[in-house]
Structure 1
Amino acid sequence: MFRILMLFIAAILIAGLPTESLFAQAGASDFDVEQASRAYIDTLQGAELEKSNQYFQGGYWLILWAALVGILVDFLILQSRLSARFRDWAERVTSRKWLQPGLYTLPYVIAGFLLTLPWTIYTGFFRERQYGLISQNFGGWFGEQMIGLIISLVIFPLLIMAIFAVIRRAPKTWWIWGTGVISIFLFIGLLLGPVFIAPLFNDYEQMAKGPMRDQIVAMAAEYDIPADNIYVFDQSKQHKRISANVSGIGPTIRISLNDNLLERTDPAEVAAVMGHELGHYVLGHTWRAVLILALIVAVGLFIVARLSPRLVERHGEKWGIRSISDPAVIPLLSLILTVYFFAATPAINGMIRINESDADRFGLDSAREPDGFAKVAMRLSEYRKIEPGPVEEMLFFDHPSGATRVRMSMQWKAGHVKNPLMLNPGKLEKE
């Protein structure tokens, strides 16, 4: 569905194309990397380990079921001729061809929201509450879903109108121009999202002056990253996961830390996280993300452009679809895209994961806090399987696993710290 495409766009903003870097190979002969790594990895055991594994492994099936739910919803909208009715309504409201796809999108988005709502409630609220990973009550959570729906009702009509404009003007090559349209929307989202979208879900306040802010400013200054705007946002109202980001472009560039990061971790961990996030900016991952996303979308739209006319020719009369330029075709186009993105999931995960690994290396080099980095990896393993098999990690992980990250940090420690010490981190406190 087109809403799945937009969710993909939002998710991949934190990713990009990988670059390569290597650790120094020198190490201390009396520092055992594997033993130091196990000291951290083995802090997650028993019921907590089982809970983390069950949650993350259950997510493997959610990828499949989410795709099937999306396919089923679009098929129902087609088969019931709801799509044709939405189109007929848009034509009654206006005779302007350029505006009709945008009007069509309004009932289509609402219908998709309502039809998928039971699934969304289960995966987004009840399952998260089952594993203790959500702080909101149902009212607060559902309120944010409604905000997301309103945003969709603003963005999707504009996107669909632009795509159908190029379909009408270039019916043979519309997939090329459509890729350009989506790239433009992505650029606008990068520019405006941190200023206008993110504050709809959380309150952002300038980070208070102090040693931690001074350290972040110094780290950013080392790589000429604008650090005039450093914000703390109240994500603890939604969950207890730690996170931070460097977002925006040009005048909207800002560094943001969630309150969980400041409240649950020590300064070494904060520095490790910020080094990673600054790495995304310095290594140009956002712009590479735009490029790789454009290529991925281009392939998807090319497939859509080849398959959809044949399906319209065969089933169009039954579904009430007149042609590929008819807004009623939207569920068919998005159904094909859903299948495409599902099939491409391992490749997309791999690109993001390698990129995240590059940011990890940069963060270790800039923050020089290998033990802080290892602690953060363990905290993230509260909801990510700590030690998957190699094939499992390749297929399902869009970030390096906790074990991979801990070993990376200990390898860095062996190669860069003079006379590194073996630490017994003990059990991380439960917040």
Structure 2
Amino acid sequence: MSRILMLFVAAMLVAGLPVESGFAQSGAPAFDVEQASRAYIDTLQGAELEKSNNYFEGGYWLILWGAIVGILVDFLILQSRLSARFRDWAERVTSRKWLQPALYALPYVIAGFLITLPWTIYTDFFREQQYDLMSQAFGGWFGEQMIGLVISLIMFSLLIMAIFAVIRRAPKTWWLWGTGVISIFLFIGMMLGPVFISPLFNDYQEMAEGPMRDRIVAMAAEYDIPADNIYVFDQSKQHKRISANVSGIGPTIRISLNDNLLERTDPEEVAAVMGHELGHYVLGHTWRTIFILALIIGFGLFVIARLAPRLIERHGARWGIRNMSDPAAIPLLSLILTAYFFAATPALNSLVRITESDADQFGLDSAREPDGFAEVSMRLSEYRKIEPGPIEEMLFFDHPSGATRVRMAMQWKADNVENPVIQNPGKLEQE
């Protein structure tokens, strides 16, 4: 008998199986990953399931209609020669070529904001209210839209000024240098956003001392992540979504949790979310995302560099556009880029989804809370379709679906927890 046992152990070692797991569950019921997953997935049923599916599937059409609205607005600004008038105004204000694109950007951004305002009000306010995802009154929401408009005026003006400086100096290869310019702006936004922009919309307070903060500090310390600044921000005034992030670079690094996460979830769920967010930092996802986005944007600028001159040569007189270095060409460049990004939506979604999946795996390994991870994945189903088809998930999901995440958590549990048992989560609270 002992010889048979030794042969069995040797065979397990050769096969790469953990010896302990071969005996630990003897006498214990087998852990079925799919059954354990369904215990969570099936907590969303009936009217709540239908509401979640309708909200998310409606977003598929918003991708299309949003692109169409953006293209039509730019086309209207071109056809009405508003663009040429904005350029003429900028030239009257200053004779400095380098400053004219920045001045042009001011009326262009304001005009785009006003023309699309009815669409924005419907998609970002009334539709959110319809699905009980909006906490703000219209006045508060519109006030934040105005703050966003001011930020757009500043950032877009600086970006356009830099891009057109490149176009004037390198008319043949401007798209390549322009990609570098946009990458720099992405980096600056990453540096300054958490410190100067986010507090314009929410109040950030240091997280109170206690067991939850201690656990976050310990998790961060395990991976040498600075945890001197841990903030809680009041996003419940805007909506009910749970959220957290690790943001910034160098001295601006901060860990932020919204109040919904702390008030609507259990400590195990908070740990699971923070493990995921720490994963983004440790795995260098910000830098990887900037690099891949730069490649995607660079190809888009290359497309513009090939199409825009031909369109200007053919229609420029009617639109009042002189050449590629004319700021009046901005709506044309925007129109082409909007169409390009619409076509690239599946690629952009896949980029984010793969990154999020990597962070999910890291979060499971660091927090070791598979059931907490499954529970918080189900809470996200308030506004994300829980169980799409594989092609649907690939095309439209910029995060793994709830079902995918729950199955990942239960598979991790099966692989890493001794004598795992199937939980009966019951009906999760959906305040």
Q: Same fold (TM over 0.5)?
A: yes
Kept in 1: contact 2:379–2:430 (CA 8 A) = no
Equivalent-residue separation in structure 2 for 1:291 and 1:236 (angstroms): 33
Q: Deviation of residue 290 (structure 1)? A: 1.2
> Could you tell me which residue of structure 1 aligns to residue 263 of structure 2?
263
In 2, Cα distance between the equivalents of 1:133 and 1:334? 31
Contact 2:43 2:428 in 1 (8 A): yes
Report deviation, 1:179. Answer: 0.5
- The answer for the alignment partner of 2:134 in structure 1 is 134
For residues 286 and 60 of structure 1, the distance between their equivalents in structure 2, rounded to whole angstroms, comes to: 26
Alignment correspondent of 1:41: 41
CA shift digits 1:36-74 (9 cap, x unpaired): 100000000000000000000000000000000000000
User: Which structure 1 residue ranges, 4+ long, deviate > 2 Å from structure 2?
Assistant: 24-29
- Secondary structure of the structure 1 residue equivalent to 2:341: helix
- Contact kept in structure 1, 2:207 and 2:230, CA below 8 Å: yes
Q: Offset at 1:325?
A: 0.2
Contact 1:134 1:238 in 2 (8 A): yes
Question: Which residue matches 2:101?
Answer: 101
Q: Which amino acid aligns with 2:197?
A: I
Residue type of the alignment partner of 1:361: Q
Q: Residue 276 of structure 1: SS of its match in structure 2? A: helix
**Aligned partner of residue 381 in structure 1, secondary structure:** helix
Aligned-partner SS, 1:386: coil
Alpha-carbon deviations, 1:201-251, whole Å to 9, x = none? Answer: 000000000000000000000000000000000000000110100000111
Contact 1:312–1:321 at 8 Å: present in 2 too? yes
1:388 has 2:388 as partner? yes
Query: Normalised by the size of structure 2, how large is the TM-score?
Result: 0.94
Q: CA deviation at 1:422?
A: 1.1
Displacement, 1:293? 1.0
State the AA in 2 paired with 1:117: L
- Asked if 1:252 is matched to 2:271, the reply is no
Alignment gaps of 5+ in structure 2: 1-15
- 3-state SS of paired residue (1:300): helix
Residue 424 of structure 2 corresponds to residue 429 of structure 1: no
When the two structures are superposed, what TM-score results if normalisation uses the length of structure 1? 0.94
- The answer as to whether partners of 1:25 and 1:415 remain within 8 angstroms in 2 is no
Q: Percent sequence identity over matched residues?
A: 84
The corresponding residue for 1:219 is 219
Alignment of 1:56 onto 2:56 = yes
Q: Which letter maps to 2:157?
A: P
SS of aligned partner of 2:382: coil
Q: Distance in 1 between matches of 2:77 and 2:306?
A: 22
Find the aligned partners of 1:35 and 1:289 in 2 and give their Cα distance: 35
Counterpart-to-counterpart distance in 1, 2:191 and 2:382: 33
Query: Which is greater in Rg?
Result: 2
Show the counterpart of 1:114: 114
Structure 1: state its 5+ residue gaps.
1-23
Q: Which has the higher contact order (CA 8 A, sep 6+)?
A: 1
Aligned to 1:414, what secondary structure does the other structure show? Answer: helix
1:179-190 matched pairs, under 5 angstroms: 179-190=179-190
TM-superposed deviation, 1:429: 1.5
- The within-5 A match list for 1:21-420 is 30-420=30-420
User: Which whole-Å CA distance do the structure 1 matches of 2:138 and 2:272 have between them?
Assistant: 34
CA offset at residue 25 of structure 1? 7.9
1:198 aligned partner, one-letter code: S
- Match in the other structure for 2:7: none
1:360 Cα shift?
0.2
Deviation of 1:430 (Å) = 2.7
SS in structure 2 of the partner of residue 246 of structure 1? strand
Note the C-alpha offset of 1:156.
0.7
Separation of aligned partners in 2, 1:354 and 1:191? 24
Q: Distance in 2 between matches of 1:161 and 1:34?
A: 55
